[in-house]
Structure 1
Amino acid sequence: MKNRVINPNVSVDCVVFGFDTQSLKVLLIEQKAVEGMSGHQALPGDLVLNDESLDDAAARVLKELTGIEGIFLRQFHAFGDPNRVKQVQDLDWLKSYRDQPEARVITIGYYALVKMDEFQTEASSFAERVFWQDIHEIPELAFDHNSIMQRALDRLREEFENRQVGFELLPEKFTLSQLQSLYEAIEDRELDKRNFRKKVLKEKLVTALDEKQTGVVHKPARLYKLNLEVRSKSPVHGSFVTVKF
């Protein structure tokens, strides 16, 4: 055991999901540029400090990007492929930030759910620029971040179905059209409007409010809020009918 090398490099990478009432978004960063090369696009993340837990490290990363605390955050997978940071362009970038750029790094993946209209993204110690990207238009990312993002999306879809995780993306008051758009965005499929509304109202997943939309050019729609008691008991979308064309 004395001759074996102990590798202490552990990081966290965060897949931050947002919803703009129509489509699912992911928060990406542009890494700080180094001399002779531009920064790569990547998921937000950082090495874990010696005096912090994994959860605290992920929360720190998100606070730097959003300025807020208490974001829904869930650990979903560990990524330990020995070759996950072996690409030449990734190593070139790491040389400017680490004494041992080729050292193996094990990263812990977290996914977060945020309301996009509740904060302004901002640059941080590890990001030159922060921006939202449509889930269907994700570019090639640094390291193995495309794989991490896909694994997070798979987990979000699984937990949305089983536990109703995902409603954190909606405003407190929403229309049934916005709710349907959320289901369609996460599940990546179209749902029949009539059947969707019938099922949601039958299961009492939402409570109708005596309020309607304001500031819209079309006919204002009624607003609803989530019925937290019903939500915790039963998922409702398993039998929704997919629209066929």
Structure 2
Amino acid sequence: MQYSNQKRLLVAVDCIIFGFDGSEYKLLLIQRGFAPEKEKWSLMGGFVQETESLDEAANRILNQLTGLHDIYMEQIQAFSRPDRDPIERVVAIPYVALIDIEKYQRQINDNFHAHWFPLKALPKLIFDHQEMVDLALNKLRYKAAFHPILFELLPDKFTLPQLQAMYEGLYETKIDKRNFTRKLLSTNLLKKEKEKDKSSSKKGAYYYSLDEGHYKDNFLSIHNFMPKSEIFFESN
């Protein structure tokens, strides 16, 4: 049985994959392998299969590209303009994914000609993918101000200067070091390691790691990582 007088409509998911290399944010893009816009730069995406939920499709597509499982992903609003795809009517649901670039590099799938681009130097993207990226970045800035989601971008061990650079890069602003460190340590999310990173100075900076149990228990807690003056974007 089918609904009468209804036309076919395809549903796709697109993965907006952010990474941080220690100094700047990057976006993982692929070269589209078919027309239209063949060989142009695109988000990693695909159509939702008949037996899949949206989340299952997004996880499948991300795994095909990176080989990674259990990655932080969050669905954002649908893109449904009737003419957004020149071939057929396609409703696209973007997902934001945050991954550790180092883990990705060890498991890259070369079939998609994937490449990391700095957020400040993105190539022209197909269809409305740039709008998706802009929306995802805006929502990431809002959520990261209150929840520790940016830790998903970090390797297992990291320094406080690396953490500060990560927040400063996202908000494109300078943050007071003492206030930031005090707020961060007061969350009890971090464990101080014995070894230091001496790549930047003789004195070095201690490595920290996440207290996994505390991190999971407090993932949705409000921590106010950023001062209100820096939260200058929309929440919806």
TM, length-normalised to structure 2: 0.83
- 1:176-223 deviation line (CA, Å, top 9, x unaligned): 100101111222222123332233334545332222126x26323111
Larger radius of gyration: 1
In structure 2, the residue matched to 1:30 is 31
Aligned with 1:112 (options 78, 97, 104)? 97
CA contact (8 A) 2:187 2:223 kept: no
Q: Quote how far apart the aligned CAs of 1:71 are.
A: 1.5
Q: Which amino acid aligns with 2:69?
A: E
- Asked if 1:192 is matched to 2:176, the reply is yes
Q: Quote how far apart the aligned CAs of 1:77 are.
A: 1.4
User: Gaps (5+ residues) in structure 1?
Assistant: 87-100
CA contact (8 A) 1:196 1:240 kept: no
The within-5 A match list for 1:52-201 is 52-86=52-86, 101=87, 103-120=88-105, 121-124=108-111, 127=112, 129-201=113-185
- 1:91-132 deviation line (CA, Å, top 9, x unaligned): xxxxxxxxxx2x2100111011100001332234xx3x1011
Q: Which amino acid aligns with 1:235?
A: H
Q: Which amino acid aligns with 1:168?
A: E
CA contact (8 A) 2:22 2:162 kept: yes
Q: Quote how far apart the aligned CAs of 1:76 are.
A: 1.4
CA contact (8 A) 1:28 1:133 kept: yes
Q: Quote how far apart the aligned CAs of 1:73 are.
A: 1.4
In structure 1, the residue matched to 2:223 is 235
CA contact (8 A) 1:199 1:240 kept: no
Residues 173/241 of structure 1: CA separation in 2 closer, same or farther (3 Å cut): farther
Distance 1:68 1:12 in 2: 17
Please state whether the residue corresponding to 1:154 is helix, strand or coil: helix
Residues 119/235 of structure 1: CA separation in 2 closer, same or farther (3 Å cut): same
In structure 2, the residue matched to 1:209 is 193
CA contact (8 A) 1:25 1:133 kept: yes
CA contact (8 A) 2:27 2:116 kept: yes
Question: How many residues were matched structurally?
Answer: 221
Distance 1:78 1:222 in 2: 43
CA contact (8 A) 2:42 2:126 kept: yes
CA contact (8 A) 1:80 1:106 kept: yes
In structure 2, the residue matched to 1:20 is 21
- 1:12-41 deviation line (CA, Å, top 9, x unaligned): 001001110111111101112569x85110
Q: What CA RMSD, in Å, does the superposition of the two structures yield over aligned residues?
A: 2.4
In structure 1, the residue matched to 2:206 is 222
Please state whether the residue corresponding to 1:74 is helix, strand or coil: strand
Please state whether the residue corresponding to 1:81 is helix, strand or coil: coil
TM, length-normalised to structure 1: 0.80
User: Gaps (5+ residues) in structure 2?
Assistant: 231-236
